[in-house]
Structure formats: C-alpha cells, structure tokens
Amino acid sequence: MRIEIRLMVVAAAVLAALSFGGVMAQAPNMPTPAKSLGSLVIGSGIDAASASFVAAVRKGFFKQNGIDAELKVFASGQEALDAVLTGQADSASNGQYNVPLVAAKGGNIKIISEFARSKLQFGAVARADIYKPQDLIGKKVATQFGTTPEYYVRLYLQKYGLDLKQINLVNVQFAQMVPAIARGDIDAFFAFDPHLTRAVAAAPGVHILHRSGDDDVMTLRVYAGVSQKVYSNKNLAVAYIKSLTEAGAWVNAHQDEAAQLISTEFKLPIDDAKKYVRYFDYAVTLDNAARDELAKVSAYLVQQKIVPSAPDLSKFVTSEFIQAAYPGKF
C-alpha cells in the first residue's frame, strides 16, 4: 500500500514537472500582454460603417493594444458624435460632413484617420410615384439635418439641376423615417442602410430611388473622430490607430463573421448584415484623398452660407498618430 502511494506521488510530481516544463517551453512564443493605457468608450452607429469598431472591441484588438474599450451603440453616427462632444464617449465614426460642421462651430474633436468607404451605403427611397430626381419637385423629402445624408441631398440636387427650394426638405430623425414614409407623412427620404432596406420592406410601392454611387454623386468616407482624452495622449492615440487598422483588416478578410458581429450588435437580419458589410472597404488611411474630401466639405459649408468661415483643417485633422503607428506609410 505504501509502495503504491509512493508511486502515485512520484507520478504526480513527474506530471507536474512535465506540465511546468511545457508551459516554460511555450512561454517565449506567447504574446506579451500589452501595458494598460486606460479605458475608452467607443461610440458606434447602428450601421455597417461601424463594423471595424465592433470588431475592435468584440474581437479584442483594443485589448491587445492595451486599451480597455467599451462599445456604446447610438442611433446614428451623429448621436455618437454628440456623445463625444459632451464627454459621454471618446470616439465616433462619421461621414465627411459631420465633423467639419461641428469643428466650424468650435466643437472639440479631432479626426485621426479615415477607416471605411462606400458608394452603396447612402441613398434615397421614395414612394411609388417618384422614379426620377425631377419627381421630387414639390414633394416632402426628409433627412436628418447636420449629417452627411443632408450633404448627400444637396449634392444630389446639384447633380440633377434641382434647387433646394423646389422641394420641401424636412428634418426627421433617422429612426423615425421608416414609420414616416410608411404612414405617408413624407414622400421620400435620404439616409443610409439599414433604413433604406427597412423602408422598402415596410410599405407597398416604396423603392430605392438612388444609391450614392449609382451616378457618382458621392462616395461615403467614414472618419474616426476622437476626444481630447485620446488626442492629448500620444501612446493611447497610436494604440487606437493600431487597433482600428488591425480590426479593419480582419473585417475585410472575414466578412461573414464580421456580419454576424454587427447582426448581433445592431439587431440586423444576418442576410442584410452580410450585404451591408460588403458595401465597404475597411482599410485605415489618412491619405490626400481623405484630406481633400474634408477640405471640399469645409469650403462647401462656407459657399452655402451654412457657417460664416471654414474650419482650420490643421486644427481638427492630424496625421501625427497614424504616422507614428506606421512610419513612412502615410
């Protein structure tokens, strides 16, 4: 009996030594945990433009780079931007129109990268009797003011030789647009998916009038805007850029899995989510085209007398962090 006990003890000791040795042998190949840089609240809209944000949080890219990130979902990028401006979030994804507009009014936010682009995400839906741009004359058309879809409306009307005064443009929150067109309160609206798809399903005769890439009216460019907490801390901002870049590469390479993430997060039908993710390229950049688009919007705001003077691009756009994250690339 004593011999058996001794043999069991020896065997246990040998197994423990082997296990410890195995762990020690594997240790040099294990990733070193990143030093904690702090926590961030990542503000996301409910559309596929924010797929990189969702992936960066849910797949651990922020965590791998030392950021404890909380995902906070808002009704749109505009609401996420408001949250950054009021200290409720540290980051938001927005189209090209939103941040220049708030920067012109003194909003404290900086763009540190562009991280998605699409020609299909934005569009207009209309009731059955509206099939061409000219059919919008005299009709009640909705969008949410102060957002990139409003900018799209203006570019769309210019493209087709229509004056803003020829339509009855009304301000409706994105979340209320589908019920409004289903009730007949409005004749058309300019927004983004999933609202476009939902409107077509909600009422007989409602159809897609245009998508922004159908005739090159506008390419949606999605920018990462961050709070002072991020842009005043270089290490944190660089880690943010790296996390978003890694997440974007992952989404581009794993579209179906990314679709499942946003389907769960935003309560989207999985088939729709798969379609929306494929609208986008999620590569991170801050190239000349990305900067030129922001300069174009800033000039447009003054031209249309929406703001008295253009915001200083150098004060709300910085390539410092993307260059530090990826030297020589940008």
CA atoms within 13 A on the CB side of 253: 6
pLDDT of residue 24: 31
Confidence of residue 32 (pLDDT cuts 50, 70, 90): low
Bridge partners (DSSP) of residue 116 are 222
**122-211 topology per CATH:** D-Maltodextrin-Binding Protein; domain 2 (3.40.190)
Same fold yes or no, 38-118+219-325 and 122-211: yes
Bridge partners (DSSP) of residue 317 are 111
Other beta carbons within 10 angstroms of residue 160's beta carbon come to 14
CATH for 38-118+219-325, among 3.40.190.10, 3.90.1170.10, 3.30.379.10, 3.90.1640.10?
3.40.190.10
| pTM for this prediction | 0.86
Per the CB < 8 A criterion, the answer to whether 69 and 59 are in contact is: no
Domain range list for the chain:
38-118+219-325, 122-211
Look at residue 252 and tell me whether its pLDDT is greater than 70. yes
Per the CB < 8 A criterion, the answer to whether 93 and 222 are in contact is: yes
Task: Provide the 8-state DSSP code for 321.
Answer: H
The residue-averaged pLDDT of 83-93 equals: 97
Look at residue 189 and tell me whether its pLDDT is greater than 80. yes
The residue-averaged pLDDT of 9-24 equals: 38
Look at residue 23 and tell me whether its pLDDT is greater than 50. no
pLDDT of residue 53: 98
- Torsion-angle region of residue 126: left (phi > 0), alpha (psi -120 to 50) or beta? beta
pLDDT of residue 329: 85
User: Can the peptide bond before residue 194 be classed as cis, meaning omega within 30 degrees of 0?
Assistant: yes
pLDDT of residue 28: 37
Residues 193-229: tens digit of each pLDDT = 999 999 999 989 999 999 998 888 999 999 999 999 9
Per the CB < 8 A criterion, the answer to whether 84 and 227 are in contact is: yes
Q: Is 88 exposed, middle or buried (0-12, 13-18, 19+ CB in 10 A)?
A: middle
